[in-house]
Amino acid sequence: MKERKGCVFSISQDNEPVAGCTISKDVVHQADCQVLYFSLAAQTDISPETYDQVKILYVTAGMLCLYGPEGEREVPQGQVYIARPGIPVGMKSLHGAVYVEITVKEETLMNIDTGKLFSLAGLVPCQDGKIINRDIIQSPKVKFVVMSFGAGTGLSEHAAPGEALIFALEGKAVIRYEGEDHEIKAGENFAFAKNGRHAITADGPFKMALLLTLE
């Protein structure tokens, strides 16, 4: 994973659009999963293309507009659209947008419909005293899960068998990574190295998404 580890950062701030340009950054590139960050400046676009695999488009800043033979669809900040294989889709933005694109095999999706718009945070409720997980992608090499934490709940220190990227969706939490505490809030991100020891404690109700990649 081509992302710095062990510190809080913002995908949106690190990939702000450049006037008149479209920018892409390759973050994960393996057989079962590709992850890229895209920045579209105002009045720029990527022409419609047809894909053989599912593309999950998560907008982290601005407003993205998808267009093609099925018409146009706006995807605002915090929303997700899953593009169906075989259907041409283009991306454009009137005022600028930053988004994350995750490409996976269709059979790895877990109970999520393609061709629909939804909120990642809205996929799981938050309940007092409970941690709730919902898998979005599940395969031997990649997992993408949305989690909610009731106030004061958390995960005890452990190490993951692969690299991980966190998207804070709602609320605040403290991430303890290799012995140091890091406060994270909605809109921010954090990455773990393989076998990096970490723990998470919610500071009030907290929701996040976790992308885990395995070699």
Buried b / exposed e across 152-167, counting CB within 10 Å, b at 16+?
A: ebbbeeeebebbbbbb
Least confident of 4-8, 22-26, 40-44, 158-162: 158-162
Look at strands 79-83 and 71-76 and give their pairing: unpaired
pLDDT > 90: what percent of the chain?
92
Q: What is the sign, positive or negative, of the torsion defined by CA atoms of 12, 196, 26, 49?
A: negative
Q: What is the mean pLDDT of the chain?
A: 95
* pLDDT digits 0-9 by tens, 41-67: 999 999 999 999 999 999 999 999 999
Which 3 state secondary structure label does DSSP give 171? strand
Type of residue numbered 208? M
Checking if the pLDDT of 165 tops 90, the result is: yes
Residue 57: closest CA among 125, 122, 116: 116
Q: What is the pLDDT of residue 132?
A: 98
β-strand partners of 57: 81, 101
pLDDT reading at 190 higher than 80: yes
Give SS3 for 50: coil
Is the model's pLDDT at 149 over the cut of 90?
yes
Report whether pLDDT(111) > 90.
no
Residue 70 has pLDDT above 90, yes or no: no
Confidence of residue 176 (pLDDT cuts 50, 70, 90): very high
The answer, yes or no, to whether residue 81 has pLDDT greater than 80, is yes
Task: Report the C-alpha dihedral over residues 144, 130, 195, 214, rounded to 10 degrees.
Answer: -20
Is residue 3 over pLDDT 80? Answer: yes
**Stretch 146-163: mean pLDDT:** 95
Domains of the chain from N-terminus onward: 8-119 (2.60.120.10), 121-213 (2.60.120.10)
The C-alpha atoms of residue 171 and residue 58 are separated, in whole angstroms, by: 18
